[in-house]
Chain A
Amino acid sequence: MKTKARIRIIVLINLVMIPFVFLLFLSIAGTWFFPDVLPGHWSLNAWHGLFLGNDFWWVLLKSVVLSSSIAILATAMAFFISRQLSRHRYRDILHSIAYLPYSFSPVIYAFCIQFLFIRSGLKGTYAGVLIAQLLISFPFVVLLFSKHWNHELKNQEILSMSLGASEYQTVVRVTLPLTMRLIKLSLIQTFLISWFDYGISLVIGRGIAQTAILRIYQYIAEANIAYAATASLVLLIPPVMLSIVQHKLSSNVA
């Protein structure tokens, strides 16, 4: 029984890991022609080319800044606004409206709103991509926070003020610490939404405001498989790191 379980785990790990191993394999495969089983030679050219002779680092840095900005802005806005919404008499209707951006696929949603971005001169700019991604991330965080603002937390805030704390002190000393776990989760989730977004970045960014994921699609379109594989592996680093952090957070809560 133990051996069977062990085999199952090994098979499962392999199934999960195969795409990543294959990406690594593609990134160092030099020349490789059909019907050869293995490449003719191994090469680190794609790694060298991507980081030394290419602006990929620069695009990657811009993507990190963009996704981090989305994470911080969406979380900060949702922290205050969702708190107000959850105590509004029409909160159920308002929360239903927050689901609307998810009625479409992101590409269709981007096509629907692109007129506004053309008129405002934001199409093809990073500011435009940031605003468009916020329109997706912000309602997500509002919904994520919605159940958090319960009666107990409200009563704790009232009690804090009854003990003489100002509204600012109450937010800093009571509300924020009691919401910290959710804030961390929101930062991670919104970062990932922005990091892997393709549709909105493509339509609103128009290829001018480049993100790392758009660059990977560009390499694929150019049939530059080694570059695409290498860039994909690099693109995985932030999400893997965030997944580890998220896992640790969940373990602490459990």
Chain B
Amino acid sequence: MWLEVKNISKRFDKNEVLKDISFSLEQGKTLAILGKSGCGKTTLLKIIAGIIPACEGDVFHQHKLITHLPLNKRNIIYLYQDALLFPHLNVFENIAFGLRARKLGEEEILQKANKLISELGLTGYENQNPQLLSGGQKQRVAFGRSLIVNPDCMLLDEPFSSLDFETRTTMQMFYKEMAEKFNITTVFVTHDLKEALIMGNHFAVMDSGRLTFYKDKSEFINSPETGVMQEKTFWDNINADKT
């Protein structure tokens, strides 16, 4: 397995936020985790990324234990809801950030960053201040900044929640394309049912710190816990009212 999470639990004081979470993911697949605000989704991602420690449990990458590795040695990138571009760096330098941290040669940085900028559709914006970009462009730069270091896994914490409907749909498609192209393994958390269905190959629901994993899309759709059928009934009823 590319990524394995085993028996993760987390408590903040006496409040148990994650309860014995386990799942595994193959390379290049996207696990969509659906859950309400405060159910523990973000905490789970932060533990996998190494930002906060778990109370119990371990994280493995290709059967190798990585729980003890610090954040900057895991090659797992956690992306926030906001693009969080570095405001003192232009678009090019934001994208090249990870390469400079790895101390690559200037020529290699130029070549890799320019290639990715072109693939992201950001040619002409290299010297732009990131604060002047639109929401969608900012997210593209944020993805580019992560993709350039060829991460083993990307953890996306509702990255499109601050975008308008149209940009959100475009970015969902864009990320799917990029993830396929770069063979990126992704854990994608969202509270949006439709987004979970669009983004995922594998599906899970998180509720009060517990993760329910579904073996395929149809099981996810038919489960009463996911709310897909309720949603479908709602729209069917709307249609019936019209006729």
Q: Which residues of A have CB within 8 Å of B239? A: none
CB-CB nearest in chain B for A152? B84
Q: Give the interface centre of B71, B74, B100, B145 by most chain A CB atoms within 10 Å.
A: B71
- A247 within 8 A of partner (CB): no
Verify if A169 is at the interface (C-beta below 8 Å from B).
yes
Q: Are B51 and A158 in contact (CB under 8 A)?
A: yes
Which residues of A lie under 8 Å from residue B100 when comparing CB positions? 173
Q: Which residue of B lies closest to A169 (CB)?
A: B101
Give the interface size bracket for B toward A: 20 to 34
Check: A182 CB closer than 8 A to any chain B CB: no
Q: Write out the residue numbers on chain A whose beta carbons fall within 8 Å of the beta carbon of B72.
A: 161-167
Q: Is the CB of A174 within 8 A of B101?
A: no
Contact status A158-B78, CB under 8 Å: yes
**Closest residue to A163 on the B side, CB-wise?**
B98
Question: In whole angstroms, how far apart are the Cα atoms of A164 and B75 in the complex?
Answer: 7
Of the candidates B80, B82, B97, the one whose C-beta lies within 8 Å of that of A163 is B97
Q: Is B87 an interface residue (CB 8 A)?
A: yes
Closest chain-B Cβ to A145's Cβ sits at a distance in Å of 18
Closest to B83 in A: A159
Assess whether A162 is in contact with B101, with CB atoms less than 8 Å apart.
no
Asked whether, in the complex, the Cβ of A162 is within 8 Å of the Cβ of B88, the reply is: no
Beyond A158-B51, A158-B71, A158-B78, whether A164 also contacts B88 by CB under 8 A is: no
- Which residues on B sit within 8 Å (CB–CB) of A158? 51, 71, 78
Tell me whether A178 and B76 are in contact (CB under 8 A): no
B86 touches A162 (CB 8 A): no
B101 and A159 form a contact (CB under 8 A)? no
Residue of B nearest to A156 (CB): B84
Residues of A contacting B77 with CB < 8 Å? 162-163
Contact flags A122-145 to B (C-beta < 8 A → 1, else 0): 000000000000000000000000
B49 on the A face (CB < 8 A): yes
A155 at the interface (CB under 8 A from B): yes
Q: Is B63 an interface position by the 8 A CB rule?
A: no
Q: Mostly helix, strand, loop or mixed at chain A's interface?
A: helix
Nearest residue (CB) in A for B73 is A164
Could you give, for residues 64-100 of chain B, a 1 whenever the CB lies within 8 Å of some chain A CB and a 0 otherwise?
Answer: 0000001110111110101010111000000001101
For residue B120, CB closer than 8 A to chain A, the reply is no
A246 proximity list for chain B (CB < 8 A): none
- Shortest CB-to-CB span from A247 to chain B, Å, is 22
Q: Which residues on B sit within 8 Å (CB–CB) of A207?
A: none
Which chain A residues border B71 with CB–CB below 8 Å? Answer: 158, 161-162
Q: Point out the residues of chain B lying under 8 angstroms from A163, CB to CB.
A: 72, 77, 97-98, 101, 145-146, 149
B97 touching A162, Cβ below 8 Å: no
Kindly state the separation between the CA atoms of A158 and B75 in the bound complex, as whole angstroms.
Answer: 13
The answer to whether A43 has its CB under 8 Å from any CB of chain B is no
Q: Chain B residues near A155: list those with CB within 8 A.
A: 80, 82, 84
Distance to closest chain A CB from B97 (angstroms)? 6
* A170-B228 Cα distance, complex, nearest whole Å: 43
Determine whether B14 belongs to the interface, using a CB cutoff of 8 Å to chain A.
no
Query: Quick check: is A177 within 8 A (CB to CB) of the other chain?
Result: yes
Docked Cα-Cα span, A145 to B59, in Å, equals 37
Interchain CB contact under 8 A, B80 and A159: yes
- Judged by a CB distance under 8 angstroms, whether A160 is at the interface is yes
How many whole Å from B214's CB to the nearest CB in chain A? 28
Q: What CA separation (Å) do A174 and B87 show in the bound complex?
A: 9
A156–B84 Cα gap in the complex (Å)? 6
Q: Are B86's CB and A174's CB within 8 A?
A: yes
- Check: B102 CB closer than 8 A to any chain A CB: yes
Report the Cα distance A152→B87, complex, angstroms. 11
Bound-complex Cα distance A173 to B72 (A): 15
Q: Which of B97-129 contact A (CB under 8 A)?
A: 97-98, 100-102
**29 A-B contacts (beta carbon < 8 Å):** A155-B80, A155-B84, A156-B86, A158-B71, A158-B78, A159-B78, A159-B84, A160-B86, A160-B101, A161-B70, A161-B72, A162-B51, A162-B74, A162-B76, A162-B77, A162-B78, A163-B97, A163-B101, A163-B146, A163-B149, A164-B75, A164-B149, A165-B97, A165-B101, A166-B72, A173-B97, A177-B86, A178-B87, A178-B88
Other than A162-B51, A174-B86, A178-B87, give 12 A-B pairs with Cβ distance below 8 A: A156-B86, A160-B97, A161-B71, A162-B72, A163-B145, A163-B146, A164-B75, A164-B149, A165-B97, A169-B101, A173-B97, A178-B88
